[in-house]
Structure formats: structure tokens, C-alpha cells
Amino acid sequence: MDRNITVETLKSQYIEDQPVEFVERKGLGHPDSLCDGVSEAVSRALSKMYLDEFGRILHHNTDETHVVGGQARPEFGGGKVLHPAYVCLVGRATTQVDGEKLPYRQVAIDAAKAYVRSVCSHLDVDKDVDFDCKIGQGSVDLRGVFEQEGILANDTSFGCGFAPLSETETLVLETEKFLTLRLKKKVKALGEDVKVMGCRQGNKITVTVAAALVGRELKGPKEYQSTIQEIRDAVADHATKLTRREVTIDVNTGDNFEKGVYYLTVTGLSLENGDDGSTGRGNRANGLITPYRPMSMEATSGKNPVNHVGKIYNLLANEMGREIVKETRGDVKEVHIRILSQIGKPVDHPLVAAVNLLPADGVPLSKVEGTARAVADSWLEKAHTIPQRLLTGKLTTF
């Protein structure tokens, strides 16, 4: 059966030519990103449990993790967590098979703790966070859709993607990775709760960084200020590797040194002092929040990777877009993709996969239409490979 793939011209100004562009990325330690990471870690752990026990991934959705912030008293040279943060795992799963109960709650909590411990180097996971599991049995109807022959969509929903990343998008994405994966090894006071906001106006880009600093790694205000300057200089130097546009770097603009206001923490995380989070409120499937591009409101993290189109189509759309740009070898400047499912219908045969292309100057749509259609068709054909790609770390969800 042929797939319903439409290919049309993108009726939008090229992103790099638009006068203004906003781009955001919430870092790995941001409460919303922690919820995304925990949700996905729990889904992976349950998937592996099901595969080990039954040779297949059974029905589950763990995309409703919530963080309730705690209370802390940060100080230079020390500080103390007064009340732990609370992480609640919410969702649905296959909790028993043929009357045999599965240890899904312990598996979920162990996975959540392991993930938070792997990301948050200044946090005492056992003392400073309380974990709770409220995951329950899924509905009969949704499990029925999941367990039928073939892979059938669990919902009527859509996914979005685009390619390639703009220069500003790349700068924002790589800046956060630079801060939380590289610079923090050198700057010990740098916490994991980082947010990066990029604003391009014409050829000038302003990057605003919010970075939680750890009080026990700093002797006082002067060292705090010098650390902020060190972060600013390092980010500015890194930016020169990613763009030739004029870039301004601002770090912790909420600070007020005269009044003694600093972004100071005990754990390097804002969740220690009342900042809450939820799965799906942060980065989209490509790792960014991009109001000038197509986006889905679906939470990609934690949804089951077998038939939950809210997850699969967002991942597929981005993969399609990247490959279309690659295979058309400069003939396509920008591609937007939207894929819509119908509940109970095959995942690899959506109701429609809409591909919108912005050809390079002088390139007719007819030259690139066939390649775009073939790439979209190929990725839909490979929809069943998504679970393995996620379990092996070849795909990320936020």
C-alpha cells in the first residue's frame, strides 16, 4: 500500500533571512529536563525488563514525571539543603503478565535515581531527593491497540521536525553542551542547571546564559564574579568556532552585586529551592525550543517507543529532515515535516506525511521532490527500528 506523502514548496522566508529569531535550550539539570531524562530512563529500564522477561517491549508510558522543588540555604563556602526535592513518577505500564506481578516500581525508581545521579554531580541523591512511583496499569483499550498484530498507532496525533539547524540554533545547542559537559570539568563551581537563550536580530546574536553556581566551591562574592567572567569568556571563545556573526554573551543577568543577589545554590540545581518541573515542558525532540519553527506539544520522553506516535513521529520527522537536506546536496535550504496518525492504524502508514521544501535559489521543486518523497518513505518503512535506536543511545529525545 502506497504511503500518503505530500511534497510542497515551503511558503516561508528562509530562517537565516528572517530579521529576528529566538532559540532556547534548557540544560540537563533544569527541572523540566530532569523530568524528561527521568521519564526516558524509566521507559528504557521498563523496556529492557520486558525484553529480558518476554522478548518484546510491553505497553507502557512514563511521560508524566514531576519535580516538586525543595528548600535550601545556599552560602559561600557551604550551604545546606533544608528540605528534599520530590520526584514523582507517573504513567502507565504493564504491571503483571499471566497473574505474575512484575517489579516495575522498583525498576522505575532505580532507573530514576541512577539517571539523576549520572547528571547531577553536586547532588546527594539519597539525602536531597525523595522518589515516589505512582505508575499504574494501563487502560484495556490502549493495551489492546498495543498488543494487536502489527504496530498500530496508539493515538491520533502528530509529530513535527525540520532541518537543518540554523546558525543560532546550533550556537544555543552547542553552548549548553559545552557548559554542562565540558566547562564544568574545569570550573568546579558551575552547576548543571543551565539555560541558554539565543536572540538573533539581523546579524547580531545575544546569548543569555543562566548558570547555577555551587556555593561550597566559592570563597565569596569576588570569586563568584570572577567565575561568571570566566564562564562568559569561555562561552564567547567557543562561539567563535560556531559563527562569524557578532555575538554578545550575558551570564546571570538577574545578579545584583550591590544588593548581594547571586545565582548561588547548594546543589547546582534550582530544584533545591522551589523550582518545579514536568516532562514535556522543555526541549523538543531535537533538543531545542524553537518558536520560529514547527513544533509539537507532545512530550517525546517516556512514551513507549513501539507505537506511541507522539514519540515516534517527532523523532522520525527530524531524521527525515536531516537526511533530505543531506541527500539533496545543497538544493534544499530548509525542510519542514509534519506527520499525522490515526489511532489503530499502522504506524508506518500515517494518515499523511507532509513535507515542505524551500529549494535553493534557481532550483525547481521538481528536481528535489522525488528525493524528499523517497527519504520520507524510507524512514516510515524503518519506524520499527526506533525502539532499538533509543535503547542503544543512537537517538535522544530532548
pLDDT in tens, 265-280: 999 999 999 999 999 9
Averaged over 7-32, what is the pLDDT? 98
- Annotated domain spans of the chain: 5-14+156-166+281-391, 31-147, 167-278
How much is the average pLDDT of 173-184?
A: 97
CA–CA gap between residue 271 and residue 356 (Å, rounded): 40
Shared fold status for 5-14+156-166+281-391 and 31-147: yes
pLDDT in tens, 64-85: 999 999 999 999 999 999 999 9
Residue with cell 543569555: 208
Residue 43 has pLDDT above 70, yes or no: yes
Sort 38 into a burial class: Cβ within 10 Å, 0-12 / 13-18 / 19+: buried
Confidence of residue 150 (pLDDT cuts 50, 70, 90): confident
Point out which residues pair with 6 in neighbouring strands.
Answer: 354
Under a CB-based contact definition with an 8 Å cutoff, are residues 251 and 231 in contact? Answer: yes
Helix (H, G, I), strand (E, B) or coil at 131: strand
pTM for this predicted structure: 0.95
Instruction: Indicate the CATH number of 31-147 among 3.30.200.20, 3.30.300.10, 3.40.50.300, 3.40.50.10860.
Output: 3.30.300.10
Say which CATH superfamily domain 5-14+156-166+281-391 falls into: S-adenosylmethionine synthetase, C-terminal domain (3.30.300.280)
Give the residue-averaged pLDDT of 199-226: 98
- Looking at domain 167-278, which of 3.40.640.10, 3.30.70.100, 3.30.300.340, 3.60.20.10 is its CATH number? 3.30.300.340
Can you list the positions of beta strands (E) in 108-203? 129-133, 136-137, 158-163, 190-201
Q: What is the CA radius of gyration of the chain?
A: 22
pLDDT of 149 strictly over 80: no
Q: How confident is the model at residue 140 (pLDDT cuts 50, 70, 90)?
A: low
